[in-house]
Amino acid sequence: MRTADIRQRFLDYFAARGHTVVPSAPLPTPDPTLLLVNAGMVPFKPYFTGEAAPLWQRATSVQKCVRTLDIEEVGKTTRHGSFFQMNGNFSFGDYFKEEAVAFAWDLSTKPWTEGGYGLDPERIWVTVHHSDTDARGIWREVAGLPDERIVARGDEDNFWSMGVPGPCGPCSELYYDRGPALGREGGPAVDEDRYMEFWNLVFMQYERGEGPGKTGYPILGDLPRRNIDTGMGLERMATLLQGVDNLYEIDETRPVLDRAADLAGVRYGADAESDVRLRVVADHVRTALMLLADGTAPGNEGRGYVLRRILRRSVRSMRQLGFQAPALPELLPVARDCMAPSYPEVVASYARISDQAYGEEDAFRATLKQGTTVLDTAVTGVKADGGRSLPGAQAFLLHDTYGFPIDLTLEMAAEQGVEVDREGFTALMNEQRERTRTDARARKSGGTADTAALRTVLDAHGPTDWRAWDTLTTESRVLALLGAEGPVPVARTGDLVTVVLDRTPFYAESGGQDSDAGLLSGASVEAGVVDVQRPLPGLVVHRVRITAGELAVDDTVHAAVDPEWRLGARQAHSGTHVLHAALREVLGPTALQSGSYNRPGYLRLDFPWRGTLSPAVRSEVEEAANRALRRDLPVGVRWTTLPEAKELGALALFDETYGEKVRVVEIGGPWSRELCGGTHVDHASQIGTVALTAESSVGAGMRRLEAAVGIEGFGYLARERDLVGRIAEQLNAPRTELPEKIAGLLDRLKAADRENARLKAKATAGRAAELAGQAVEAGDTLVVTATVDGAADEARALALAVRDRLPPARPGVVAAATSSGGLVLTVNAPAREAGRNASETVKQLLGGRGGGSPEIAQGGGVPAGDLAAILADLPRVVPGGHGQSEGG
């Protein structure tokens, strides 16, 4: 039985019992505390915490999840996978323990032919919290389980909370005995490999207070209404029903593993180390496929780095298995075919997915070459200084600048007999992560981290009456003021505070659109609105600076959006939709927007594409966009359900969470149809113009277009026109002849550069011959020193030219210094055979500064007045030397 069938059976079972089937949310999540959805309940979190009213009393879903905290354990155990699917059924104040237990037992044990999973009831064990006598009694009554198969466990295992104050409660887990061949007898407390957990039922009935970790916090009381959150691991159920040992061997992963084994010429099951690497490949290729399908692009931060790390670990594992050719073109299509029955979007988006994945592998292959050189140089330096440990800062540089995974640094350093300061590296990584989290929290909370105070406001007054789609002004009441230290009763001239209003016309930053600017004014206050955010679902907050008077809680104010700002914002956001549609018209459907930002006069749009766009293609995209403006396409908005919007072909943008009803913005009907909550013009001609200003790379397989829009677009074109006019005037040429005129000038400049280089080389050769003839004896070695007025490259060229003119049978050492304090030193082959070393000699001359290879090395930072003495000292430091040098 396929995993896709197991998945559908779960949804069908609960749909038949009054549950609304909720589609999986995208893996990227707008939750500021998470990068990626890591549990089935995450999309329902606002309903459990009370931040939003639930849309349904009963719901069921199969949620895509990614966890990477224990990524190093992937492949080593049967229980760790970075991507997994969580089957869940949820009750929001409806049924509770008895029904949840009954549903789980019925679906698990009912025969397959009757719509169940057909597990042997005699092999199922359950755990309950030691205090939960209700659950123990229900399991006895509903399932007839004997006491010995109902195991009591403590808070660490069987009490659930989100780790912060809020809902919590005991849980009950279901385990299946896979038989004595897989471990010891005695239940899940004895062996969790033999007894595999496959379902967890969470009974949310209490509210917890502050406290660390999973234990030690107070229970404040009962929740106003009790909820159910369950999670069945789809991969674990597939493992049981397909009769395989672990999740890497089910039908959604085993074909990838087998293809990797074929490519590497190894047999799965023959070698423990190779098996781990094959399992890593099987897991990571599938995870990367699903992240790419949901719009995550490889990058150096956040979820982009998670994806990059997973892709690179899979590629590196293949290289460790002995497969040196590009691996993803062989493996990713296999993962696509495995996942397509459940997620047809991986087929529809495969051109984009594969383009980004293959581009990332190409980049990593180049990174391996470059990063290995940097690592080797660093290790050589550590050894030269007598050290045994690579500094954490160096490992972090390799990770942050070159994308070199820390595990790769650890392994390659160990191969050269050097340890890595892992603690130092981890400290730097934690600093970077905390900066990222702090920035995200500050941005999401409108400049204040006091989300507890904001939640109190939301609980007391309900969601903000948000009017941004309908009006530019409202009469509003101040519900709360928050300063840097928390709530304040009043704000005065010069203060920067967060203001919560009962209603607002201001657009809060979202969907790529910047927030509105404007004013709050009242009987005794004027304040400028500088930022607007949604720190909690349903709550809009305003960051304002008091410019005159004072503002107090309960004051009535006139909230007014700057109309010019809003007009520019509408032009830019509609312009983004137009440019997106034009891009897809020219490049095809794989050029799907993966990120955007727009504010008055400016927009940027990121999309997957390998290679730069030629000037001709950029012009074609710009023309397609402006044709839509000239046709004055109508802009319309409709509300519909998400499935209906998808049937219409509406494009859903990633990182957004959609409710039961979605807002579809159309420009020219099907020409541009996207799910969007932003503000827009009424007709395309109101955008004015879209003028492309830049095209660049923002990562492997990802491009960025930038454009000026509206009056700023016309201004950009006017400045370009004036610039061309000035150049034409200076060159005394008609504008139409400028390309040929400039090309001619460049040709003449290149010819002049070539002539200068030829003359310089001739002069260098002449001087080199003269200097070689003036070489002095230093024991058995000829020594030449010289100075140049130019840069280090000229000193290098002169030193090499002199070296090549020394007698081929005599050891020779040549040093050339620059007037800026640099030194280049080289030795010929006989000198190397005699034990001379350029790098060691430079370090001896310069007191440890500088280095390079045994044949040529250089140093710098020498005071100009010391150069003569350093050059004069060269014959002495050359082993065996006794003579004196002469300046050249």
> In this predicted model, what pLDDT tens digit does every residue of 83-128 receive, in sequence order?
999 999 999 999 999 999 999 999 999 999 999 999 999 999 999 9
> In this predicted model, what pLDDT tens digit does every residue of 769-813 receive, in sequence order?
999 999 998 888 999 999 988 777 888 889 999 999 999 899 999
Mean pLDDT (the chain, rounded): 88
pLDDT given for residue 690 in this prediction: 96
Which is more confident, 605 or 443? 605
- Any domain includes 531: yes
> In this predicted model, what pLDDT tens digit does every residue of 557-585 receive, in sequence order?
999 999 999 999 999 999 999 999 999 99
Question: 238 and 194, same structural domain?
Answer: yes
Give the start-end residues of each E strand in 95-165. Answer: 124-129, 150-153, 159-161
Sheet hosting strand 672-675, strand order edge to edge: 635-641, 661-667, 672-675
> In this predicted model, what pLDDT tens digit does every residue of 348-396 receive, in sequence order?
889 888 988 998 898 888 777 777 778 888 888 888 778 888 888 888 8
- Any domain includes 471: no
- Any domain includes 114: yes
> In degrees, to the nearest 5, what angle opens at C-alpha 232 toward C-alphas 228 and 234?
150
- Any domain includes 373: yes
pLDDT bucket at 626, cuts 50 / 70 / 90: very high
Is residue 461 marked as binding? no
Question: 372 and 274, same structural domain?
Answer: yes
Q: Which residue range forms the structural domain that includes residue 642?
A: 566-722
Task: Summarize the confidence of residues 438-453 as an average pLDDT.
Answer: 56
- Cα(285)–Cα(461) distance, rounded to whole angstroms? 47
- Any domain includes 729: no
pLDDT given for residue 403 in this prediction: 66
Is residue 80 marked as binding? no
- Cα(107)–Cα(123) distance, rounded to whole angstroms? 15
Question: 490 and 396, same structural domain?
Answer: no
> In this predicted model, what pLDDT tens digit does every residue of 213-247 receive, in sequence order?
667 788 888 888 899 999 999 999 999 999 998 89
Across 530-539, 570-579, 836-845, which has the greatest mean pLDDT?
570-579
Give the start-end residues of each E strand in 18-149. Answer: 20-21, 58-66, 83-92, 124-129
pLDDT given for residue 46 in this prediction: 82
> In this predicted model, what pLDDT tens digit does every residue of 727-760 receive, in sequence order?
999 999 898 899 899 999 999 999 998 998 889 8
Which of 193, 213, 247 is where one domain is finished? Answer: 247
- Any domain includes 289: yes
pLDDT given for residue 654 in this prediction: 46
pLDDT given for residue 332 in this prediction: 97
pLDDT bucket at 32, cuts 50 / 70 / 90: low
Which is more confident, 213 or 5? 5
> Nearest to residue 530, comparing CAs of 520, 538, 522, 539?
520
pLDDT bucket at 885, cuts 50 / 70 / 90: very low
> With 60 as the cut, is the pLDDT of residue 446 above it?
no
> In this predicted model, what pLDDT tens digit does every residue of 627-646 receive, in sequence order?
999 999 999 999 998 778 88
Residues 6+ apart with CB under 8 A from 493: 546, 547, 548, 549, 550
pLDDT bucket at 398, cuts 50 / 70 / 90: confident
Can you read off the two tokens belonging to residue 466? Answer: 């948000």
Q: 783: domain CATH number? A: 3.10.310.40
- Cα(395)–Cα(389) distance, rounded to whole angstroms? 11
Question: 173 and 55, same structural domain?
Answer: yes
Counting the structural domains of the chain, the total is 5
> In degrees, to the nearest 5, what angle opens at C-alpha 52 toward C-alphas 51 and 54?
135
Question: 298 and 227, same structural domain?
Answer: no
pLDDT bucket at 886, cuts 50 / 70 / 90: very low
Sign for the CA dihedral angle at 574, 580, 581, 585 comes to positive
Is residue 130 marked as binding? no
> With 70 as the cut, is the pLDDT of residue 883 above it?
no
Question: 118 and 24, same structural domain?
Answer: yes
> In this predicted model, what pLDDT tens digit does every residue of 406-444 receive, in sequence order?
777 887 787 677 889 888 888 888 887 666 555 555 544
**What one-character DSSP code corresponds to residue 35?**
S
Quick one: what percent of the chain has pLDDT higher than 90?
54
Question: 279 and 217, same structural domain?
Answer: no
pLDDT given for residue 884 in this prediction: 36
**What one-character DSSP code corresponds to residue 544?**
E
Calculate the alpha carbon distances from 95 to 58, 86, 229, 739, 750 in Å: 8, 20, 11, 75, 81
Question: 88 and 149, same structural domain?
Answer: yes
Residues 6+ apart with CB under 8 A from 859: 822, 823, 842, 843, 845, 846, 849, 850, 851
Pair 687, 710: CB distance under 8 Å? yes
Question: 703 and 581, same structural domain?
Answer: yes
Question: 162 and 202, same structural domain?
Answer: yes
Which is more confident, 227 or 647? 227
Question: 152 and 168, same structural domain?
Answer: yes
Can you read off the two tokens belonging to residue 318? Answer: 């293949």
Which is more confident, 500 or 422? 500
pLDDT given for residue 1 in this prediction: 84
- Any domain includes 745: no
pLDDT given for residue 415 in this prediction: 67
Q: 594: domain CATH number? A: 3.30.980.10
Calculate the alpha carbon distances from 774 to 767, 771, 779, 806, 886 in Å: 11, 5, 16, 10, 8
Question: 400 and 265, same structural domain?
Answer: yes
> With 60 as the cut, is the pLDDT of residue 655 above it?
no
Pair 728, 739: CB distance under 8 Å? no
Q: 124: domain CATH number? A: 3.30.930.10
Which of 247, 280, 308 is where one domain is finished? Answer: 247
- For the entire predicted model, the pTM comes to 0.62
Q: What are phi and psi of 520, to 5 degrees?
A: -110, 130
Residues 6+ apart with CB under 8 A from 292: 307, 349, 352, 353, 356, 357
pLDDT given for residue 175 in this prediction: 97
- Any domain includes 732: no
> In this predicted model, what pLDDT tens digit does every residue of 262-311 receive, in sequence order?
999 999 988 888 999 999 999 999 999 999 998 888 876 778 888 988 99
